[in-house]
Structure 1
């Protein structure tokens, strides 16, 4: 049996990225946010689809293209049904698709607020187990790894840096400045807590 205390953190961003666009009504650049609605137009057997955004200041709308002049036979049935029914889960996924949004907007406002759901995959089997955290990203986020650890484990960034320099905190995949980069899906973080006075408190915060 492994003695590692293994937990999974499922990370979900709370606020969708907002494009900054020229608002005709405000006559200035303003942030736009997803309305939770789609628009679907048909031209014969070809369809156009958009995700509707609203200006945060005046409620003007912007239609973010999802696809244009797409033949109905080339559209995934699940996608088509989601567009026809304004499926909330599908719309949320598209709203958080940062790479897709970058194709349609130059300036994008990102947010680091996340919800973290913690699950124990392997309970501690000894009094001083190493802690291993595996990250599961429901969607991309700009939250940096060191900030995530600081928030969820109650560790200062200075202490995180000390543990890393001592070889007692590592990430996989590793790399230069890995802790100062945004969290990645399936990233694993291992922390050796042997001898730490607040070891039990950290382990408690790591789990649900």
Structure 2
């Protein structure tokens, strides 16, 4: 019999990352929210495309460049059709392009409102060891500690203590693992032997009653 409860968490972020930018209307840095709309501008055979964002405070707009001065013939037909129709699937993918956002700002806010689908791979709630396998469908800058805190109802201070004591590890191993963004295929291992509320932690991890 396995002494490890293994669960798979499939994480689907509900809100796209919000870049922090200087807002001309507010007069300071503010988070900007993707509007779900695109803008195209043609100049002869050249095409510019932007994804439109709005300030979360005053709704002033920011046009995030998708491409500039691109020859129309070099734009894939499906991409052009998506831009012309504000295709929600394409827009969502672009809004979650964190690497692209990092070219525009040093600060990106990732909200913790993710849908987490749980699936038990093995073991039971009475196990003293918990292993969480992450399936991350969209690139995310959501930190491991924020995810665990939200889903297991554990304070970040407690998570940090568990990590310091060697009772919480992230595989593959890395420095400051709790502060790292979640990654597809990562495994979080918790030794709950000394935790009085281990049954409750396990219940939250697997979901259900």
TM normalised by structure 2 equals 0.80
SS at match of 1:174: coil
Query: Do 1:3 and 1:126's aligned partners in 2 also have CA atoms closer than 8 Å?
Result: no
Match in the other structure for 2:177: 178
Q: 2:75 and 2:34 mapped to 1: Cα distance? A: 22
Structure 2 counterpart SS, 1:70: strand
Is this contact kept in 1: 2:16–2:92, CA < 8 A?
no
The alpha-carbon distance between structure 1 residues 69 and 149, as it changes in their structure 2 partners (threshold 3 A), is: same
- Call closer, same or farther: CA 1:112–1:142 in 2, change over 3 Å: farther
Distance 1:73 1:2, change over 3 A: farther
Tell me by how many angstroms 1:49 deviates: 0.9
| Residue of structure 2 equivalent to 1:155 | 154
Q: Deviations over 1:44-65 (max 9, x none)?
A: 4432211112344544433221
Q: Cα RMSD over matched residues?
A: 2.8
Tell me which residue corresponds to 1:17.
18
Runs of 4+ in 1 over 6 A off after TM superposition: none
SS in 2 for 1:133: strand
Q: Is the 8 A contact 2:125 2:202 kept in 1?
A: no
Task: Give me the whole-angstrom Cα distance separating, in 2, the residues matched to 1:19 and 1:123.
Answer: 42
Matches within 5 A, 1:1-208: 4-11=4-11, 12=13, 14-23=15-24, 26=25, 28-29=27-28, 31=30, 32-104=32-104, 106=105, 108-124=107-123, 127-128=126-127, 130-194=129-193, 196-208=195-207
Identify unmatched segments of 5+ residues in structure 1. Answer: none
Q: 1:59 to 1:196 in 2, by over 3 A?
A: closer
CA displacement 1:78-98 (0-9 Å, x = unmatched): 322211210112212222323
- Cα gap change, 1:202 to 1:125, in 2 (>3 Å): closer
Give me the TM-score of the superposition, normalised by structure 1: 0.80
The SS at the match of 2:174 is: coil
Give ranges in structure 2 of 5+ residues lacking alignment. none
